[in-house]
Amino acid sequence: MSKLNVWNINKTEEESQEKEKGKEEKYKPDKRIAKIYKAKRKYEEERRQEKFQKWLNNYTDTNQSIREIIAHLCREVSSTIHKSGYDITNEKRLRDEIASFIYKECSNYA
């Protein structure tokens, strides 16, 4: 003789879909708050760009521009890659990646 498990709730697919639909309808983000967060993200991105540009225009102890050092490094990397028989499809992206990597590794600025 098997007993029915009264603690188990068996739901039909329709009930679970209705419940899911109700959850989706409950939460609707406030458009004003979303707009504020979007503006905040844009402002933070602009500040990061300004900070990065300020760093690029700084000079080292030996009175060399960081921008010139990175440009020289990028030329060296590019020439080494070309000597190895490879081509760079997007040199600007390579330059940006190298500069970003160096910037992030400088604990004083990043």
Concatenated DSSP letters for 78-101? HHHHHHTT---S-HHHHHHHHHHH
Residue with tokens 């300020």: 54
- Provide the whole-model pTM: 0.61
What's the Cα-to-Cα distance from 54 to each of 11, 66, 104, 107, rounded to whole Å? Answer: 61, 10, 14, 15
Neighbours of 25 (CB within 10 A): 8
pLDDT digits (tens, 9 = 90+) for 11-70: 666 666 666 665 656 777 889 999 999 999 999 999 999 999 999 998 888 889 999 999
Residue with tokens 């030996």: 62
Helix and strand totals (H; E) in the chain? 4, 0
Output the pLDDT for position 30: 87
Output the pLDDT for position 106: 83
Output the pLDDT for position 25: 66
Output the pLDDT for position 2: 58
CB proximity list for 99: less than 8 A, separation 6 or greater: 52, 56, 70
Residue with tokens 């609707």: 28
Output the pLDDT for position 71: 93
The mean pLDDT of 76-92, rounded to a whole number, is: 92
